[in-house]
Amino acid sequence: MTARATNLTILALLLFELCSGLGSFLVGAPSGRWVFWLHGIAGLSLVVLMVWKWRIVARSFARRGSGWWSFAPLLLGALFLGVLGTGIWWALADSGPIRVPLYGSLRPLVLHTALGLALTVPLLLHAAARWSKPRRSDFASRRNLLRLGLVGLGGLALWGGATAAGQPRRFTGSRERGSLSGNGFPVTQWLSDDRQRIDPERWRLSVEGLVEHPLRLDLGGLAALSRASRRATLDCTGGWFTRQEWSGLPLAEVLAQAAPAAEARSVVVTSVTGFSRRFSLEEAQGLLLADRVGGERLSAGHGAPLRLVAPGRRGYHWVKWVTRVEVSGQPGWWQSPLPLQ
């Protein structure tokens, strides 16, 4: 392919990868598995495109030589290879957290996401400043369309091989960790949310908003409500999942005690850290406020004294250290798709 066609195809695939990668964090049900398939195929299509891109880079350096001008493209190249490398690493050989200089431990999937975000803006600026504008002839010929098709088929073949060679995993790509082990699964928080150690004697659960009977319950008050158990899968966007037997209070039971008003449309569940997630009133009927996992009391790292269990939702919806339930007149979708807290 021409340099213009190669560069534009790389840019389009990278933008698609950014959108599909962030979109995959929103998918918790198997019906959305196609998002992960397309993300993997497009990512490995970029590997195929490296055949053409390497020739473009080599010609550029041969023509201009090295110098200060080369710093920006080399940095972009390093970020680009880092995104591809960490994605392939996670797909084939993820063995747990890795050490990142000046930061600490990160899982390869989290590092892959961070590098992808870091690449986006400088790549767009580089493309606007240095890449030639595309021409219709770069894609209109039958030969170039055939090459694009081969790139896609190459990505599909690599994705199929990686899927067959990799370890068994859930449709999201997550690997199993500590299922049916009580508190024995990994402890993680969303971004900068800090782990909390709460004094049970001072903790209270508030139920307020559009309700007829606002509640403020301590552990004794919760003990008077009916309990339920549910086996559900917690799928973390860090790349792991765990199946556990959760037990606690049906959120529907708590809401029934408070009696939501007729205009109520959603429920906001909030942590002592301020982290919150909103659910439609209908979905809230199937949620659980858990205080035990696998017959054990929740540990502090897993959200004691109370955490939300949200089947079919990714892990960041499973609010830890729940302290407030607010019934709202806003629709269930009235929040940022990914938490900004």
Shared domain for 153 and 182, answered yes or no, is no
Domains: count for the chain: 2
> What is the structure's pLDDT at 315?
96
Q: What pLDDT, on a 0 to 100 scale, did the predictor assign at position 142?
A: 80
**Cα 240 from Cα 74, distance rounded (Å):** 33
Q: Does residue 305 have a cis bond before it (omega within 30 degrees)?
A: yes
For 183-216, how does the pLDDT look when each residue is reduced to its tens digit (9 = 90+)?
999 998 888 788 899 999 999 999 999 999 999 9
What are 60's two structure tokens?
A: 């550029």
pLDDT digits (tens, 9 = 90+) for 250-293: 999 999 999 999 999 999 999 999 999 999 999 999 999 999 99
On whether both 159 and 193 belong to a single domain, the answer is: no
Residue 16 resides in a domain: yes
Say whether both 181 and 118 belong to one domain.
no
Same domain, 163 and 244: no
Domain endpoint, select from 119, 135, 168: 168
Q: Do residues 248 and 291 make contact, with C-beta atoms less than 8 angstroms apart? A: yes
pLDDT on residue 54: 83
Question: What pLDDT was estimated at residue 169?
Answer: 86
Among 224, 210, 274, residue whose Cα is nearest residue 253: 224
Residue ending a domain, among 150, 168, 186, is: 168
Same domain, 184 and 151: no
Per-residue pLDDT at 335: 95
Does residue 156 sit in the same domain as residue 191?
no
338 belongs to a structural domain: no
| Contacts within 8 Å (CB) and 24+ apart, 263-267 | 263/210, 263/329, 264/209, 264/210, 264/211, 264/327, 264/328, 264/329, 265/328, 265/329, 265/330, 265/331, 265/332, 266/327, 266/328, 266/329, 266/330, 266/331, 266/332, 266/334, 267/325, 267/326, 267/327, 267/328
Whether 320 and 180 map to the same domain: the answer is yes
Task: Return the axis-axis angle of helices 3-24 and 142-165, rounded to nearest 10°.
Answer: 40
In this structure, is residue 133 part of a structural domain? yes
Angle between helices 33-64 and 142-165 (to 10 degrees): 120
Whole-angstrom Cα distance, residue 120 to residue 252?
43
Show the domain range for 118: 3-168
- Spans in the chain with pLDDT lower than 50: none
**Per DSSP, which regions of 251-333 are E strands?**
266-271, 276-280, 288-293, 296-297, 307-309, 322-328
Do 42 and 184 fall within a single domain? no
Instruction: Provide the 8-state DSSP code for 56.
Output: H
The answer to whether residues 93 and 138 belong to one domain is yes
What is the CATH classification number for the domain harbouring 273? 3.90.420.10
